[in-house]
Structure 1
Amino acid sequence: MDGLSSEPAFEGPTISVNPMDISPVAQPQPQPQAQLSSEELVAKAIAPVKREFLRPPPVRPSNNNTNTDRKTTDGDDAVSESKPAPILKEKKSKRQLKRERRQEQKSGLHLCNAVAKSGKVSSCPYKDNCRFSHDLEAFKAQKLADLEGSCPFLDNEGPCPYGLSCRFAGTHNDGDDVPAGTMNGKKNSSEMNALNKDVQKLLWKNKMKFPKADNSLKLLGLLGPGKKGKLMENEKDGQNVANGCGNIDGNGSCNVALEADNEMECSSKVLEEDKPDEANAQLEKEKVMDSEKDDQIVAKGAGVVDGIGCCNSAADANNEVERSFEALEDDKPDEASVADELRPLKRAKSSVDDMYSVEVHNDPIVDMKEEDKSCVQNEPTTVTEHTLADTDKSLKLNPREKKLIDFRDKLYLAPLTTVGNLPFRRVCKVLGADVTCGEMAMCTNLLQGQASEWALLRRHSSEDLFGVQICGAYPDTVARTVELIDKHCTVDFVDINMGCPIDVVVNKGAGSALLTKPMRMKSVIEASSRAVDTPVTIKVRTGYFEGKNRIDSLIEDFGNWGATAVTIHGRTRQQRYSKLADWEYIYKCARAAPHNLQVFGNGDVLSYLDWNNHKSNCPELSSIMIARGALIKPWIFTEIKEQRHWDISSGERLNILKDYVRFGLEHWGSDTRGIETTRHFLLEWLSYTCRYIPVGLLDVIPQRINWRPPSYIGRDDLETLMASDSAADWIRISEMLLGKVPSGFMFSPKHKSNAYDRAENG
């Protein structure tokens, strides 16, 4: 397999690492885990490493850089042995920061890309107005030395997009008919879903049109006169749950006694907003006259067909209006109605159940809700092209026409923030992953045309089954984002994140906050799935509060609302990543799911035995999503497919890191900036890989994700270095692959998720 050959661990000079040089150690002390049996260690969630490989924990010297020498094994906040006085940074205004950034761009190190690629100053179209430097001599004098190895773009048979600024410029082939520093041939890009400049400008100016999403929102009453009432209803649901006035049952279902009153208020407000003004009085009068004529026709047994092929009965419409006014008059509940309101609310009915199709004069089928049919103005029975053009032709014709994807038994790499970037997904594809998904992107940022957010939607040609994950709080935002992605990106499915526990996301009403607002969840899913034919999937947690699971009460509705698949992470939002995932609850939800909804389980899968056990315990599961297990050991996909425990060597692990670096340079660039970006994300990944314990060192296999690895010595120097939980050692590994770090380099892991049982995390 590519990247896992038996060649030497590292090309270039031989590297010998002395275990005692990795970090100073104290005199050997009695190890408490060495006196316990393997069963006792497992009971305490301590990895049962063989005694001959154990060593005393390292003592951190106080004179080391505190930013690069931190303990991060537990995933908790980094703690340093010594805490020097904090350095107060000078506060600068935005104007001053912008001026300094401009001056830095004009320095010799920041050479214009056009000049660097061609080697000619005249090639820049902006000339003297360019923000970057055109001084070739100053750039060559300050440029850092080239790195060992060859240019990552050499195999693309095209010019290196970084030219002279490439840190592997010495390996470029110079030709007589091409500029210096380039290669012969035509560039071949293997990445897709780049943000088009014209699309970005439309998004910047807020001039992008979303006809499919807007039509979908109109059909659901989420855009137009009824939007205010719908939003107020959702907001009141969320406030009741947040204030604790909701009565939460044993399954975590929030039963709010005041929801019925809220719905009454919303209905009355919708009726008030729907009252015609003076300008529309004549039009309303004509509608009444037409409805009277229709009543006479219906009474004689003749139905009226409106302009879009929906059979409307004026008598039914009048009956609905009468029932609405009767409901408003009976707004004051009696004793019997109060008792009914205190009962658990029924699950929300899907509008998909209310849809039907009627074909008139061989015209396309158009779906409408029952509530929308009563509002359609009666037109003559003749259907014209103009009438059809005014209808929702942009909507999907029928829910059954949505594309279907069979996820059953496919190895699904979870969308992983920061670390689940395109180079990492390419590594997992090489090692056997079947389904990949991009990092979570915020809908508001995508609709604003932010290039950094759109970069999360990039797809490599090797990702044959690929989806993107988005996160939003409101149905209009999410539906428009789904339409935008469907139109301008190449994806197989769109996943909506409804389980993100991060505070900055939840405080905006997105992620796990949607778990407290089932009606808004319904609106988001229905509006998104109606707008496009691309399959829409969702990812949820078991609930918001610890011990208050609620997905089992909603699982039957997800498929009716339009979701193709749902991933259930077996933890609540309050639990974050502490404690083990509740797989029994995942099984319960999978068994209760309708046949048209595929269910994925997610949580704590770190070996092929974990995969086999979950699949055998619940055949109703379509597949299992693998998240942190892939971060700790991406070869887990190979283990599952080959049904074996892979005792991978340190050299094979280093080859995987080398593949990641090569993919990273192709993605982020081979210039100095691209190299440091690759280094940053490599270090983020190494903060997870250090948790892996080689199979040959364990008394009990397989390793569990909640085991705390003790301090141990590997079977060779490189394996010992990879087991270190010190950021300084991670930097040493990056220097083996990307050269020396710049002066003053500091690193602290961004993510601190853990699976250890801590009281403060529960």
Structure 2
Amino acid sequence: MAIAATAASVEVAAVEGGGGEASHRSPEELVAKAIAPVKPQYLRPPPVRSSGDSTGDGDVGKEKTGDGAGSGLVKEKKSKRQLKRERKQQVKSVTNMCTEVARTGNVDSCPFGSKCRFNHDLETYLAQKPADLEGTCPFDSEEKACPYGVTCRFLGTHKQNLIIQSQDLQRRKSHEINNLDKDLQKSLWKGKVKFPKADAQLKLLGLKGGKKERLETDGKQDEINDESVKERDKVEEESITDDESRPLKKSKNEVDAEGAHETSNGTCCVEEDCENEIAEGKIENNSPKDALKSSCKVDIVPKLQLREKKLIDFRGKLYLAPLTTVGNLPFRRICKGFGADVTCGEMAMCTNLLQGQASEWALLRRHPSEDLFGVQICGSYPDTVTRTVELVDSNCSVDFIDINMGCPIDVVVNRGAGSALLTKPMRMKSVIRAASGIIDRPLTVKVRTGYFEGRNRIDSLVADIYNWGASALTIHGRSRQQRYSKLADWDYISKCSNNAPEELNVIGNGDVFSYCDWNKHMSQCPKLSTSMIARGALIKPWLFTEIKEQRHWDINSGERFNILKDFVRFGLEHWGSDNKGVETTRHFLLEWLSYTYRYVPIGLLDVVPQRLNWRPPSYYGRDDLETLMASDSAADWIRISEMLLGKVPEGFTFAPKHKSNAYDRAENG
């Protein structure tokens, strides 16, 4: 199928003055400027612009309409009240069919009858329903009918007659694992879920409720005074160094986990209380020591040593990083198919999980093909993190739990979570010790090199993080302040791995985009267990195959398009085959395409392999489809989605959620 390049893609400006300027430079000069050295015969000529035209390479990340016409109009920002009103109108809309009526095709099947707030008018719905998509329904089979019934966008391919009168038709059981139980969700809503292990551990460590750790803040941690940070860091570093000689002050009934119930000489840690009870006649004087210990009024959680935990050997395994927004279950299935050994769900906020938010719990779902799977959580205080760990451990099938202490996103950092914890090592200690003490599966931690650029601090905490209870530590080779600008500091990652105990799995992260990068980093850091792959997998998910087979894969446009087809199929299975599921799949496909266009085919490069920080110039592909895939225009991404999921709805708009600055900073060139 021939695909002509759209006008929108032709007029996209190439970085650094366009393909024209790139063609006048040698490959070495282009590499020095962090521009992908595309062969001159594939470069586009510089676009012709009018004097008033201000569109450029950075426009893709702005709020523009994406209706395929490339109008570039600014998307209207709506207030919360407007959005709420629109949601109410959508519920009452004829397009919002009652799920029970949709499944059975019977208007009388809804248990709420006329009181149901959703639409029951089948004829009107079918009259305005969008045309069916090409392909077959991913749910319908000889044994079971599609759970989406009349709302399925593959209605014409259903093997069974649509209007089924059976009242016993049940939704197909999902093949995915870790679905949120409705009873558990209601209990979380009402605050009725108990956390006995977490509460006992927090009490044991003197962290009940986390009140001792909660410093008053105005919510503007991005504006931290530098001098106060220096002073606080100095105090905290001293407190870590002298932690064993100057333990936290505890009340009579609060006992340190490392010395719980018994001191080094074997005496009861609250012997004074026991003697008082003997004097009062509550305990017989001839009670053995075990009886004295059992009488102590302290809730004890046995502290698991690392050797007692179920450990995971990460050495040599290809680890797909937890990726916000794009690291969803369908994308992880794609990466598993290309050879990823370890997968991890998207970062989930502890407070949202404890509140029973269905959208947050969806991030914990696991596909059966993910044989080594973990979930990543993020929280500010020991109480929320520890209770979340107990909740996940009790209700989900996971192999490990990862705590994110490196997320640079403002909304996370302003709440005291993510990278904000790098400025509070004592709170890091409290979180890791409390969480690791209540589960027998591995607890891992992900960090950055530090909060501020030029002030790396994780190398001094690596051994402590292991002693606090982590079985693996992932180090992203950038500070929070750097975000994703500049290259990752692998020399510093190597230094951290050299400081780590032998038992601790240290995992490096940053700028792996070819098997050459993988080999270089693993040889540079001999004590490293493995290297995590993040943006490299987003841009080319076949990177895992390249590493395992030690080759550069000059993948053609047809093979890349088949990967997108697989993603769409997995997405419809995950989000549903009704109109809502189709548009959700389209949204995440577009988010992914906002990364994949950065890939430059091997056959077009003068220098191989491509580096992650190279900015691709505007170029033609070897065929029309490859040219379309190279476009950085959102209108062209939408066109690709229409080839897979049909026409977009009227008024459809799209703006990428992530606006990486890795291609915009002068430091990269």
Match of 2:206 in 1: 221
Q: Which amino acid aligns with 2:441?
A: T
Distance 1:61 1:496, change over 3 A: farther
Choose from 725, 744, 748 the match for 2:655: 748
Query: In the alignment, is residue 502 of structure 1 matched against residue 488 of structure 2?
Result: no
1:362-389 alpha-carbon deviations (Å, 9 max, x no partner): xxxxx99999656764553275799499
Q: Verify the 8 A CA contact 1:70 1:726 in the aligned structure 2.
A: no
Report how far residue 125 of structure 1 moved.
1.6
Choose from 36, 44, 60 the match for 2:33: 44
Report how far residue 110 of structure 1 moved.
1.1
TM-score by length of 1: 0.77
SS at match of 1:191: coil
Q: Verify the 8 A CA contact 1:412 1:624 in the aligned structure 2.
A: yes
CA distance in 2, matches of 1:436, 1:555: 23
Q: Verify the 8 A CA contact 1:423 1:667 in the aligned structure 2.
A: yes
Choose from 84, 91, 98 the match for 1:112: 98
Distance 1:259 1:433, change over 3 A: closer
Report how far residue 32 of structure 1 moved.
1.9
Match of 2:461 in 1: 554
Match of 2:10 in 1: 23
CA distance in 2, matches of 1:672, 1:716: 32
Report how far residue 141 of structure 1 moved.
1.1
Q: Which amino acid aligns with 2:233?
A: C
Superposed, 1:90-489 pairs within 5 Å as 93=81, 98=84, 100-154=86-140, 157-174=143-160, 179=164, 187-223=172-208, 228-229=211-212, 231=214, 242-245=224-227, 248=230, 254-256=233-235, 354=259, 373=270, 377=274, 380-381=287-288, 383=290, 387=294, 392=299, 395=302, 397-489=304-396
SS at match of 2:380: coil
Match of 1:315 in 2: none
CA distance in 2, matches of 1:29, 1:184: 59
Report how far residue 397 of structure 1 moved.
4.9
Report how far residue 746 of structure 1 moved.
0.8
Report how far residue 216 of structure 1 moved.
1.0
CA distance in 1, matches of 2:617, 2:198: 53
SS at match of 2:580: helix
Q: Verify the 8 A CA contact 2:201 2:301 in the aligned structure 1.
A: no
SS at match of 2:371: coil
SS at match of 2:446: strand
Q: Which amino acid aligns with 1:35?
A: H
CA distance in 2, matches of 1:397, 1:78: 50
CA distance in 1, matches of 2:422, 2:98: 49
TM-score by length of 2: 0.87
Structure 2 segments unaligned to the other structure (5+ residues):
276-282
Distance 1:680 1:156, change over 3 A: farther
CA distance in 1, matches of 2:353, 2:131: 38
Q: Verify the 8 A CA contact 1:650 1:719 in the aligned structure 2.
A: yes
CA distance in 2, matches of 1:184, 1:41: 62
Report how far residue 182 of structure 1 moved.
12
Structure 1 segments unaligned to the other structure (5+ residues):
1-13, 277-309, 311-350, 359-366
Q: Verify the 8 A CA contact 1:473 1:508 in the aligned structure 2.
A: yes
Q: Verify the 8 A CA contact 1:72 1:78 in the aligned structure 2.
A: no
Match of 2:586 in 1: 679
Report how far residue 159 of structure 1 moved.
2.3
Q: Which amino acid aligns with 2:42?
A: F
1:455-497 alpha-carbon deviations (Å, 9 max, x no partner): 1111111111111111100000000000000001111111000
Distance 1:578 1:139, change over 3 A: same
Which stretch of structure 1 is more off in the superposition, 572-581 or 114-123?
A: 114-123
CA distance in 1, matches of 2:467, 2:248: 28
Q: Verify the 8 A CA contact 1:174 1:183 in the aligned structure 2.
A: no
Report how far residue 393 of structure 1 moved.
6.2
Q: How many residue pairs align between the two structures? A: 648
Identity of aligned residues (%): 63
Q: Verify the 8 A CA contact 1:506 1:512 in the aligned structure 2.
A: yes
Superposed, 1:510-549 pairs within 5 Å as 510-549=417-456
Report how far residue 131 of structure 1 moved.
1.8
CA RMSD of aligned residues (A): 4.1
SS at match of 1:655: helix
Match of 1:33 in 2: 22
Pick the structure with greater CA Rg: 1
Report how far residue 756 of structure 1 moved.
3.4
CA distance in 2, matches of 1:583, 1:565: 18
SS at match of 1:500: coil
1:628-664 alpha-carbon deviations (Å, 9 max, x no partner): 0000000000100111000000000000000000000
Distance 1:448 1:71, change over 3 A: same
Query: In the alignment, is residue 565 of structure 1 matched against residue 472 of structure 2?
Result: yes
Q: Which amino acid aligns with 1:32?
A: E
CA distance in 2, matches of 1:247, 1:109: 54
CA distance in 1, matches of 2:35, 2:79: 45
Distance 1:62 1:692, change over 3 A: farther
Q: Verify the 8 A CA contact 1:109 1:139 in the aligned structure 2.
A: yes
SS at match of 1:439: coil
SS at match of 1:470: strand
Distance 1:211 1:54, change over 3 A: same
CA distance in 1, matches of 2:597, 2:110: 46
Q: Verify the 8 A CA contact 2:354 2:388 in the aligned structure 1.
A: yes
CA distance in 2, matches of 1:636, 1:132: 46
CA distance in 2, matches of 1:581, 1:620: 18
